[in-house]
Chain A
Amino acid sequence: MTIVINGTTGISGIDGSAGTPAVQGTDTNTGIYYSAADTVDVATGGVQRGQFDSSGNFKFNSGYGSVATAYGCRAWVNFNGTGTVAIRASGNVTSITDNGLGDYTVNFTNAMSDANYSVVSIGTSDAINYTANVQIKNSSALATGSVQIQCYEYNNVAVKRDPVHVLLSIFR
């Protein structure tokens, strides 16, 4: 295989492999290689650890046991729903809307591609023997730009509450 060094297109010519990556440092079994068309792979110790495939999927092995597509958290927020309602920390969230007792809307900075995302949420209850629950208000509360939630404490009956901690993450 001929290595081509071109002032316009750069360096090309070798695909490499996990054991002998095309781009290496002084460690010859660690680097970047190209396992298929439109695909970039990363190897360490002669083993494939990550890949960007031809569909743009990012795959890695970080304890999964194989290199598999990673589905990232698209938005998250940790906020206090009591007293002076405030966001402690967040990602891809511009704001929350306090709609009323135990009722909030999380507004995304960058909208989701559709409303078929997954919401993982939990709240804290300071009352002993109560179970805190954060739920989606209704099916129309899942929107591309926001999600509306309602928070309850359960002890035989559901009572709407303002939790001290509301923790919510969006996956897609």
Chain B
Amino acid sequence: MNSRIIYPNDDGGVAIIVPAPECGLTIEEIAAKDVPAGKPYKIVDVADIPTDRTFRNAWEYTE
């Protein structure tokens, strides 16, 4: 899948859900299952996620 799900974590940063290609669920179904209840989330293209993780813990979620 070329999509990712992002949501704000409890530390003020951002969590990124990476789907398993072989799981048989759609990205929407994965979001419904794996995003913690009550958290806002967005489905984004994988290309929108930075690949330089040097400051990974400083990444933030924006609406």
Contact = CB atoms under 8 A, between A and B. Distances in A.
Contact of A95 (B9, B11, B23, B57): B23
Contacts of B5: 95
Interface residues of B, number: 23
A94 interface: yes
A101 B22 contact: no
A107 to B, nearest CB: 5
B49 A99 contact: no
Q: Which of under 10, 10 to 19, 20 to 34, or 35 or more describes the interface residues of A? A: 20 to 34
A95 B18 contact: yes
Contacts of A87: 18-21
A162 B57 CA distance: 12
Interface string A82-125: 11111101110111111111000001010000000000000000
Contacts of A146: 34
B30 A95 contact: yes
A84 B20 contact: no
A146 B51 CA distance: 25
A101 B16 contact: no
Contacts of B11: 100
Nearest to A99: B15
